[in-house]
Amino acid sequence: MSAGENEVTIYHNPRCSKSRQTLALLEEQGIKPTIVEYLKMPPAPEEIASILTLLGKEPRELMRRKEAAYAENSLEDAALDNTALIKAMHDNPVLIERPIVLANGKAAVGRPPEDVLKILS
């Protein structure tokens, strides 16, 4: 799921305050984004790889390393390649940092929420 020319997509967790704040910020800008509740509908590995490319980040930079799933799946193992890490993010979407906003062929993590404003124009 990628954002088209004028489409804005947010990978959202309604239980996360930063995610709710980012969604509210988008709405204050007059934007009605496509909302992907990624815990219910995890992005495909290809989508995660594409988001990482747009962010200019490596998989671990987008992972919530304090989540139990990180330790349970031994994801700190330096021998794991990007494909294995991305698969782990797909299989355990709680590991994905949130929220992620896609707009104008760019991506931003809403931490802080204002960081998404730079990709809106």
Residues with catalytic annotation? 16
Determine the residue type at 106.
K
Burial 70-83 (b: 16+ CB within 10 A, else e): beebebeeeebeee
Torsion of CA 22, 30, 101, 5, to 10 degrees: 180
Rounded CA-CA distance 72/118 in Å is 36
